[in-house]
Structure 1
Amino acid sequence: MMRNLRYVMRLWLKKTWCQQVLQTRDLSVADAVNALRPFYFAVHPDFFGQHPREREINENSLKRLNGYLESLQKPNIRNPKPTQLTFYVRQTDESGFGRHLGSSGFRTVSFTLRTRDLQDTILNILNSCSLPTEHVQNFKAGVDSPQLQGTQSIFYRPIKWDKTYYSFTGFRDPEEELEEARKVEPTLNTWLEQNEATATKKLKDSLPLREELELLKSKLCDQLHLNDIRWQRSWGISHRCSQLHSLSRLSQQSPEILKNVKGRIIIFTDQSGLSASGHVMLGTTDVHHQWAKVFEKLPSYYGLQRQMLSLEDRTSHLLGGMQIVFIEELQPLFSIEEYYSILSTFYNRICNNRLSFHPRSLRGLEMVLEKDRYAPSLHELGHFIIPFKCDPITFQTFVLTKTQEARENLKKKEELKARENELTAACTSTLSLKKLYKEPSVSSTQMIHCCERLLDKPFPYLQGMHLCVSHFYSVLQDGDLCIPWKWKN
């Protein structure tokens, strides 16, 4: 009898485990991002433009959060490493679903992520920030039923109380809250009408600084023989001017050390050094002598860059001619030391497993190496996105399976870019915009979809404005208007 009992227990545990796996797989990282939308709205760095310290903390915490969510997709990680995160959260009204700011500004929230269950992780984040969670339960119910249909699993059905229950207990009806949340996101016309005056005033106030920024940038590029000066993040205009003034003072105090930067691009970012793309990085929190050390070390950095390019060529030869590229707009800004280490690890794994691709069989294809991903993927623009610690056999199988699709995507790439540029120019002209641009996280397909809809009807509030296509509504500190690419009509 005990033997039969153990057998029944094993069957029950196996069935329960399978159900948990099925339900866990229902929610992807993309689903999690969608479910966490109220959270992202409350902590988005663009809302902290006048608070650099809080903005930086939120940016770093978001990177670690995204890495944790990605790790939940890796099948061989049973218990992810506990991750403690701190965010500055914008104060909102009682709904918490992204209405106007309260008078208190923002507050600090810290929490630790330690579970492998994606839904529990989402609920932990939202509850820690006192944000609504009913939409997560609703979303989960909608995802479960079609995928688990026909399987021998427990049917998921949330309790639906009669309306009198909420009247008697004083609790809020989650269906009503969800409906209110849906109504909170305004149409584009409504949002523009409410925010046009604020954006216009900020834009007008920023015009003198914008002119000063362009003059400073042009002067330094000519003086130091630079190809360009860029910023990794959307810092405010005054912040950028301050950084250029600091660089100008350094060039006057130590002109000799800046000769090494001739013909290069300078990027103001979080760290100092040389990037994987060969650009000179200047950390915005570093002082002059730290910048000076970077300029002095540039010759040695250039030597490491030559070694990196040679290693890329050797790796490409092993991969049938597929080129390893670094796409600055889509990838994190790696230092050259970090990227060389990533590339070396990938090269050694390929060599040790003796992967064989037919010579020149993959010529014309491209791939990028990622640090925080756990599964290979194919981008809509045709390049492979490969984790640098990807299992070599998995990598080879994925590439060979997706080769034809990658070549087709590469052919469409130029068409997509041309269509995107054409529609961007058409929108800028038709809507009388001063400037139209997008965040790097917005794809070409999303930008095309957004522009096509913008051209369908007039938007008088956009005349003379700087418009950024993003994922959220916001007015930046210098008057730029940010709208979600999938705005409501």
Structure 2
Amino acid sequence: HPDFFGKYPKERPFYRTIKWDKSYYTFTGFKDPEQELQQAQRAEPTLSTLFIVHTVLERERSELGISAVWCRWQRSWGVSHRYCQLQSLSRLSHQNPEALINLQGHTVVFADQSGMNASGHVMLGTMDVHHQWTKLFEQLPGYRSLQQQTHWLKERISLLLGGTQVVHMDRLGPVQPIAEHYSSLNTFHKRLMSHHLRLHPRSLQGLTMLLENDRSSPSLHEMGHFIIPIKCDLPALQVFLQNHAPEARRRIQRKNQLQAEEEAVVKLCLETLSLRSLSKEPSVSPAQMIQCCERLLEQRSPHMQGLQICVSHFYSVMQDGDLCVPWDWKS
């Protein structure tokens, strides 16, 4: 059926897991994920994902004493899939509670592969078995050591580049493992140490930069951060940073203004349209979100009341009740 915008929803691509014969689960004693999915669908099909996450994790924290653990998802799986993933982690915590001790203080991301990403989040591969998760938990102290080394390298690079901070944004590209991130930082730091750039220690304070492997020349993103190739010409980089610093500060100021406007218009939409929730995908810019919200306010359709709207780039109705609409939706 068409949604209230008169558009037919498009289905998102489904990521199929390996399907084992039923005898495999009978013989091994492992839980059948298909059976669990059906149970989750029958049990609480209308619960919001956030409520399920909050409930399960609060129980985990109270039972295991794990503090500051929160879960995210790399992909927009439906509520039943997310519920099953949390249930799997919950089962592991009961079967082997000691294994989860090293998770304390980490954010967990259910992703395509296990490991630690450049942001320091623990990634749990959704197709991995408990043994692989447990092995990852045992390796977390080593990952934390690597994370500390990346922080040190970022500080050293910042000192050499006039106070520019090296940042990493998972939402701007594919998930980068922390080992790969460390390697990039280490390579760039060694190159900086072999050259003597003449930048005032605080001349670029407040500016940020992303390191990339697949670019040949530096650039300035519309959001105000520099995009720097690891193997770029360093004397030319110094000139580029000095020449583009004023424009970078102007774009950062504009970005902050847009973010403030975005927060205000989202709040207004929630209150005026009586929406249950209003969110967006990371790929939607603040300017696009503002434009979308302003048009929603003009629409003021009574059908919006109580809806969970996620602003995206396509039309879809998610399993957990979210109505995905493109930011430039058509009337």
* Bin of the TM-score, shorter chain as denominator length: 0.7 to 0.9
2-structure distance, mates of 1:394, 1:431: 52
| Residue 199 of structure 2: aligned partner | 357
2-structure distance, mates of 1:298, 1:407: 38
Q: Secondary structure at the residue paired with 1:329?
A: helix
| Residue 453 of structure 1: aligned partner | 295
Note closer, same or farther for the CA distance 1:407–1:304 as it changes in structure 2 (3 Å cut): same
Note closer, same or farther for the CA distance 1:53–1:253 as it changes in structure 2 (3 Å cut): closer
| Residue 258 of structure 1: aligned partner | 100
Find the partner of 1:231 among 70, 73, 94: 73
Note closer, same or farther for the CA distance 1:393–1:460 as it changes in structure 2 (3 Å cut): farther
Q: Check whether the contact 2:57–2:69 (CA below 8 A) recurs between aligned residues.
A: no
Find the partner of 1:220 among 51, 55, 60: 60
| Residue 149 of structure 2: aligned partner | 307
Find the partner of 1:470 among 303, 308, 312: 312
Q: Check whether the contact 1:420–1:448 (CA below 8 A) recurs between aligned residues.
A: yes
> Which stretch shows the higher mean deviation, 337-346 or 466-475?
466-475
Q: Check whether the contact 2:209–2:228 (CA below 8 A) recurs between aligned residues.
A: yes
By how many angstroms is 1:380 displaced?
Answer: 3.2
Q: Which amino acid aligns with 1:433?
A: L
Q: Which amino acid aligns with 2:149?
A: Q
1-structure distance, mates of 2:216, 2:284: 22
Q: Secondary structure at the residue paired with 2:278?
A: strand
Find the partner of 1:385 among 227, 239, 247: 227
Note closer, same or farther for the CA distance 1:324–1:213 as it changes in structure 2 (3 Å cut): closer
| Residue 255 of structure 2: aligned partner | 413
1-structure distance, mates of 2:174, 2:61: 25
Q: Check whether the contact 2:269–2:296 (CA below 8 A) recurs between aligned residues.
A: yes
| Residue 328 of structure 2: aligned partner | 486
1-structure distance, mates of 2:48, 2:276: 16
Note closer, same or farther for the CA distance 1:312–1:391 as it changes in structure 2 (3 Å cut): same
2-structure distance, mates of 1:443, 1:53: 32
| Residue 111 of structure 1: aligned partner | none
2-structure distance, mates of 1:422, 1:305: 36
Q: Check whether the contact 2:17–2:127 (CA below 8 A) recurs between aligned residues.
A: no
Bigger relative contact order, structure 1 or 2 (CA pairs below 8 A, ≥6 apart): 2
Q: Check whether the contact 1:373–1:387 (CA below 8 A) recurs between aligned residues.
A: yes
Note closer, same or farther for the CA distance 1:448–1:215 as it changes in structure 2 (3 Å cut): same
2:3 is aligned with 1:47: no
Q: Which amino acid aligns with 1:252?
A: H
Q: Deviations over 1:306-348 (max 9, x none)?
A: 1111111111111011111123433432111010011112222
1-structure distance, mates of 2:158, 2:234: 15
1-structure distance, mates of 2:304, 2:72: 26
2-structure distance, mates of 1:209, 1:467: 12
Note closer, same or farther for the CA distance 1:221–1:389 as it changes in structure 2 (3 Å cut): farther
| Residue 298 of structure 1: aligned partner | 140
| Residue 7 of structure 2: aligned partner | none
Q: Check whether the contact 2:69–2:103 (CA below 8 A) recurs between aligned residues.
A: no
Note closer, same or farther for the CA distance 1:413–1:245 as it changes in structure 2 (3 Å cut): same
| Residue 38 of structure 2: aligned partner | none
2-structure distance, mates of 1:371, 1:305: 20
By how many angstroms is 1:451 displaced?
Answer: 1.2
Q: Check whether the contact 2:218–2:227 (CA below 8 A) recurs between aligned residues.
A: yes
Listed as ranges, the gaps of 5+ residues in structure 1 are: 1-43, 55-201
Q: Which amino acid aligns with 1:206?
A: P
By how many angstroms is 1:414 displaced?
Answer: 2.6
Note closer, same or farther for the CA distance 1:399–1:289 as it changes in structure 2 (3 Å cut): same
Q: Deviations over 1:169-195 (max 9, x none)?
A: xxxxxxxxxxxxxxxxxxxxxxxxxxx
1-structure distance, mates of 2:197, 2:16: 47
Query: Aligned ranges for residues 80-479 of structure 1 at < 5 Å?
Result: 206-208=45-47, 210=49, 211-222=51-62, 223=64, 224-479=66-321
Number of residue-to-residue matches in the alignment: 295
Bigger share in helix: 1
Q: Check whether the contact 1:206–1:479 (CA below 8 A) recurs between aligned residues.
A: no
1-structure distance, mates of 2:302, 2:182: 50
| Residue 62 of structure 1: aligned partner | none
Q: Secondary structure at the residue paired with 2:298?
A: coil
After superposition, the CA RMSD in angstroms is 2.4
Q: Deviations over 1:146-191 (max 9, x none)?
A: xxxxxxxxxxxxxxxxxxxxxxxxxxxxxxxxxxxxxxxxxxxxxx
By how many angstroms is 1:229 displaced?
Answer: 1.2
Q: Check whether the contact 1:424–1:451 (CA below 8 A) recurs between aligned residues.
A: yes
2-structure distance, mates of 1:463, 1:370: 44
Q: Deviations over 1:347-399 (max 9, x none)?
A: 22333344332222111111122344444332333221223333334433332
Q: Which amino acid aligns with 1:294?
A: L
Q: TM-score, normalised by structure 1?
A: 0.56
Listed as ranges, the gaps of 5+ residues in structure 2 are: 1-9, 19-40
Q: Which amino acid aligns with 1:219?
A: R
Note closer, same or farther for the CA distance 1:216–1:365 as it changes in structure 2 (3 Å cut): same
Note closer, same or farther for the CA distance 1:363–1:261 as it changes in structure 2 (3 Å cut): same
